[in-house]
Amino acid sequence: MEKVIKIEGGHHLNGTVRISGSKNATVALIPACVLGNEPVTIYGVPNISDVQSLIVLLNELGVCVEKRDEETLYIDPTHMENIPMVSKAVSKLRASYYFMGALLGKFGHAEIKMPGGCYLGPRPIDLHLKGFEALGADIQYENGCYILDAKELKGTNIFLDISSVGATINIMMAAVYAKGRTVIENAAREPEIIDIATLLNKMGARIHGMGTSTLVIDGVDYLKGCIHEIIPDRIEAATYVIMAAAMANDMRIENIIPQHLEAIVMKLQEVGINMEVGSDFIHVFKSDKPLKRTEILTKPYPGFATDVQQPFTVLLTQCEGQSVVTETIYTERFKHCAELNKMGANIDVHTPSAFINGKTKLHGSKVTATDLRCGAGLVIAALMADGVTEIHDIYHIDRGYDNLDGKLAHLGAKMWREEVED
Ligand code: EPU
């Protein structure tokens, strides 16, 4: 038996939804906490399965983790042990690779299996490894496991060929205890990186240049405990804003940082969505005007986020004419298009672009969440479709969306989970 999500489409959404803490910040903040020698308390932790997997990993390392309330984690690494990380939980998420930087930085040794995560085409980690080597680590790969060793890490200049989010965070974590100064050039500028650097600085690290493409890290000897609140999830926020654009009469998305959503808001305004952007909210109102086609090019922050192109594609099926989405980060991130076509969309994919021919009526169908943001897109499509949509492989969705069922029910959607034959 398999649990699926079923959604009866056609019900308008109304009311307010509160955005949770950022998944992609959380999954790096949790490994960052073990760099320290004292307890850290994090507020705004989303209730998602990626966090549960990270808690399993922390427990395996002997880190004491307490859930103080729904959104608060207390992480005490005082008695942690640096054991090889080879359990099943490592392969459940991509972010387990942040323990490479954290353990290498703290102990000069890390042993860890290949990470898991969504398949979006090839996802190499060569830039992470090159960064660790530049800091002085020796890296071996044996039986599916990376073994990283360093007698001493030394600050150096590192230029990233691609401004990778993961490599920037991982190298930054390894460098906080390195002797001297590390400079990461062409560093990624995503808000999540600023959040991790902010936590590390509260713990006593000396990181400068956050949010710019030059990160400077001056090594320190000791990291202490602190209290930190996670930034709101800009991808979850974008997902709900798109959902509102597709199906709301009047819907307010709260607890957001609008600056993080500028590229997405611009595109929504361009296609004709009627919205008000406030200091920490976006309010979307129904409009009867036809939606206009557009073109989207995914880019690193502050450009249009690759994670949002999948949900946005669903909205483009409702725009008049041919829209084009070109993916520059993960050129194969188009598996959602085949699923949307099963629901009546008319999308041609010629990598690295998808051509969305609108406007098309969507109808309920059996579809599969091939990855997390594909799943989010299918939920939006199902809300719009005639009839009932059945979404399979929903574990992808549960990896990244906090309380999706509760939030949607509150907005007036008809969604439930059901066991079906495999
Ligand atoms: N890349 C390399 N070598 C590397 C690292 C990256 O070639 O060593 C390439 C990637 O293949 C990709 C590009 O560089 O083409 C950018 O990848 P990046 O490293 O920035 O991605 P990531 O750190 O693996 C994070 C998010 C993704 C998000 C991307 C891009 C987390 C846990 N994941 O991945 O989020 O799509 O940045 O913004 O933070 C999601 O939330 O659904 C998701 C997949």
d(CA 236, CA 349): 25
Q: 158 φ, ψ to 5°?
A: -125, 125
Helix 165-175 with 98-107: angle, nearest 10 deg: 10
| Co-location of 121 and 138 in the same domain | yes
Which atom of ligand 1 approaches the CA of 188 most closely? 20
Residue type present at position 95: A
Q: Is 23 annotated as a binding residue?
A: yes
Q: Which residues are catalytic?
A: 118
Which atom of ligand 1 approaches the CA of 126 most closely? 8
| Co-location of 16 and 32 in the same domain | no
d(CA 323, CA 294): 5
For atom 18 of ligand 1, which residue has the closest CA? Answer: 164
For atom 26 of ligand 1, which residue has the closest CA? Answer: 24
Query: What is the pLDDT at residue 139?
Result: 96
Q: What is the pLDDT along the chain (422 residues), one digit of tens a residue?
A: 999 999 999 999 999 999 999 999 999 999 999 999 999 999 999 999 999 999 999 999 999 999 999 999 999 999 999 999 999 889 888 899 999 999 999 999 999 988 776 677 778 899 999 999 999 999 999 888 999 999 999 999 999 999 999 999 999 999 999 999 999 999 999 999 999 999 999 999 999 999 999 999 999 999 999 999 999 999 999 999 999 999 999 999 999 999 999 999 999 999 999 999 999 999 999 988 999 999 999 999 999 999 999 999 999 999 999 999 999 999 889 999 999 999 999 999 999 999 999 999 999 999 999 999 999 999 999 999 999 999 999 999 999 999 999 999 999 999 999 999 88
For atom 15 of ligand 1, which residue has the closest CA? Answer: 329
The SS3 assignment for 408 reads helix
Give the rounded distance of the alpha carbon of 226 from its chain centre.
24
Query: What is the pLDDT at residue 64?
Result: 97
The SS3 assignment for 371 reads coil
Could you list the residue range(s) of the whole structural domain that residue 299 is in? 2-20+232-420
| Co-location of 404 and 271 in the same domain | yes
For 261-294, what is the HEC assignment?
HHHHHHHHHHHCCEEEECCCEEEEECCCCCEECC
297 C-alpha to center of ligand 1: Å?
Answer: 16
Q: Is 366 annotated as a binding residue?
A: no
50, 329, 336, best to mutate for ligand 1 pocket (most atoms within 8 Å of CB) = 329
Look at the chain and report how many structural domains it folds into: 2
d(CA 17, CA 255): 9
Which atom of ligand 1 approaches the CA of 305 most closely? 38
d(CA 222, CA 277): 42
125 C-alpha to center of ligand 1: Å?
Answer: 9
Ligand 1 residue neighbourhood (C-beta within 6 Å): 24, 27, 94-95, 118, 123-128, 162, 164-167, 188, 235, 306-307, 329-330, 372-373
Among residues 229, 257, 288, the one where a domain terminates is 229
Query: What is the pLDDT at residue 292?
Result: 97
- For 268, the token pair is 């929504």
| Co-location of 74 and 217 in the same domain | yes
100, 125, 164, best to mutate for ligand 1 pocket (most atoms within 8 Å of CB) = 164
d(CA 189, CA 300): 8
CATH code of the domain containing 128:
3.65.10.10
Q: In 3D, which of 260, 247, 366 has the Cα closest to residue 311? A: 247
One-character DSSP codes across 174-217? HHTTSBSEEEEET----HHHHHHHHHHHHHT-EEE-TTSSEEEE
Residues in the chain, total = 422
Name the one residue in this structure whose structure tokens are 């206009």: 292
| Co-location of 149 and 277 in the same domain | no
| Co-location of 185 and 86 in the same domain | yes
155 C-alpha to center of ligand 1: Å?
Answer: 24
Residue type present at position 185: E
| Co-location of 258 and 322 in the same domain | yes
For atom 2 of ligand 1, which residue has the closest CA? Answer: 124
186 C-alpha to center of ligand 1: Å?
Answer: 15
Q: How many CB atoms lie within 10 A of CB 104?
A: 30
| Co-location of 7 and 116 in the same domain | no
| Co-location of 200 and 289 in the same domain | no
| Co-location of 147 and 246 in the same domain | no
| Co-location of 147 and 247 in the same domain | no
Q: How many CB atoms lie within 10 A of CB 2?
A: 12
251 C-alpha to center of ligand 1: Å?
Answer: 31
